[in-house]
Structure 1
Amino acid sequence: MGIKVLLVDDHLMVLKGLRFFLSTQSDIELVGEASNGKEAIEMVDQLQPDVVLMDLTMPVMDGIEATKRIKEEKADVKIIVLTSFSDQDHVVPALQAGADGYQLKDIEPDELVKSIKAVHAGQTHLHPSATTQLLNHVNTGSKNMESERMFNQLTAREKDVLYQITLGRNNKEISSELFITEKTVKTHVSNILGKLGLHDRTQAAVIAMKNKWFKD
């Protein structure tokens, strides 16, 4: 059984192009299409997709609001933003809303498939431009905080969990690796984000890698 994908975009040609290519992939199953965020929320509830490809600028409800609401109700559904915008005003709000990936519409088809599979496996997959914008945002938000002091706020176990996050592992995988429950992992992740003043695990991973906290 393939990865169940829901397409969300208000441009018919984009939907047609995505449908045409993804339908050729034996391990991807297209389960539906929506033309705005409100429809996307309803279809996620009805169709139970594994991954949603989400446009940002749409009528009725935009992709950021839809992403936020879907993640609040169904945290296990993975969302990849697929848009034409790579500026910080779009990238950061989308990731803060809970997006698991961020790609531009000029992405090569094979790369899009890789992104879908990576996000479905629990990894964060960002276009290089999105990563740059996220780094800029993190730099701006934490420029007055010493890297060493930030890292030393964390307990030994929180550092273990953060390291696992930088490897792209999800809560279930971290639980197995560290021999702790998923609930405990969630608590550690929440504590890490609170201490570092960040919104999500993607930012935590980026700032850890940027500051080389786990460099061998």
Structure 2
Amino acid sequence: MDKIKVLLAEDHVVVREGTRELIKREPDMEVVGEASDGDEAVKLAAKLKPDVVIMDIAMPKLNGIEATKQIKASQPAVAVLILTAYDNDQYIFALLEAGAAGYLLKNVRGRELIDAVRAVHAGESVLHPAVARRVIDSLVFPDLKPAKDQEIEPLSEREVEVLKLAARGISNKGIAEELCLSARTVQAHLGNIFNKLGVGSRTEAILYGLRKGWFTLEDMP
């Protein structure tokens, strides 16, 4: 089985070393590179082709938001998992819109981080509880975060079904079983959804669907 290739982008050496040691213990993961600033992260992502980038926000030369945008623009399949001390709305929404697949705070336990790496690699979204609360608040009080008004290509009936199941937190494998499809087909549907909505992650697609009324918070776990 191929290992999940992880790139670390973190300017604090102690945090980077600790994360590396956590990942080294996992038989299905490997750290393929380490960056101490955002510019280096973008260059290493292009060179090393990681599956997952664990990204800090406040870094020299290029911050995590811009680095995420550049990585997702050139390598849409790479999952960016934010690991940061910041939980303010400005950073949260900027990174979700940039295409980050997950947003964790640095007070998470090691096991939660490892589980999150596997989840985003599988095409799922992961949000720290405090971050999820802010996202939900933005939906309950939409004036906190205006929705996009861009014209989009309508989703097919099947794509809406896939997005609704994704909103319930079901994995790609679970969606495939629910709809009697292959996991590869589910991934293709999600890719089409992202392209049509102009988003880069499950989380942003789900937020879009909620704002458009395709499903409600009651439909979610």
TM-score of the superposition, structure 2-length normalised?
Answer: 0.77
* Larger Rg belongs to: 1
In the alignment, residue 205 of structure 2 is paired with which amino acid?
R
Is 1:203 matched with 2:207? Answer: yes
Aligned to 1:149: none
**Structure 1 residues not aligned, in runs of 5+:** 146-152
Kindly tell me the number of residue pairs found equivalent between the two proteins: 203
Letter in 1 for 2:181: S
Alpha carbons 1:124, 1:168 under 8 Å: kept: no
Partner of residue 88, structure 1 = 89
Residues 5 and 32 of structure 1 are in contact (CA less than 8 Å); yes or no, is this contact kept in structure 2?
yes
> Which AA in structure 1 matches 2:207?
Q
Q: CA deviation at 1:209?
A: 6.4
Equivalent residues of 1:175, 1:182 under 8 A apart: no
Letter in 1 for 2:217: N
**Which whole-Å CA distance do the structure 2 matches of 1:68 and 1:175 have between them?**
34
Residue 212 of structure 1 pairs with residue 210 of structure 2:
no
Match of 2:181 among 176, 182, 187: 176
Q: 1:87 to 1:125 in 2, by over 3 A?
A: same
Instruction: For 2:17 and 2:42, locate their aligned partners in 1 and report how far apart those are by CA, in whole Å.
Output: 21
Unaligned runs of 5+ in 2: 147-153
TM-fit CA distance, 1:137: 2.3
What displacement does 1:52 show? 0.6
Tell me how far 1:139 sits from its aligned partner.
3.1
The equivalent residue for 2:112 is 111
Q: Deviations over 1:164-187 (max 9, x none)?
A: 3324455x9589369979766544
Cα distance, 1:133–1:114 mapped onto 2, change above 3 Å: same
Q: Which amino acid is 1:201 matched to?
A: A
CA distance in 2, matches of 1:78, 1:178: 17
> How large is the Cα RMSD of the aligned pairs?
3.5
Could you say what secondary structure the match of 1:60 adopts? coil
Q: Give yes or no for contact 1:10–1:35 (8 Å, CA) kept in 2.
A: yes
* CA offsets 1:105-133 (integer angstroms, 9 cap, x no match): 11100111111111111110110111111
**Deviation of the 1:36 alpha carbon:** 1.1
Separation in 2, partners of 1:214, 1:58: 34
Letter of the 1:29 partner, please give it.
E
Contact 1:165/1:205, CA 8 A, preserved across alignment: no
Q: CA deviation at 1:190?
A: 5.0
Residues 162 and 189 in structure 2, CA contact (< 8 A), matched pair in contact too: no
Deviation, 1:67, is 0.5
The letter for the 2-side match of 1:57 is A
Residues 51, 154 of structure 1: CA spacing in aligned structure 2 closer, same or farther, 3 A cutoff?
closer
Counterpart Cα distance in 2 of 1:190 and 1:131: 24
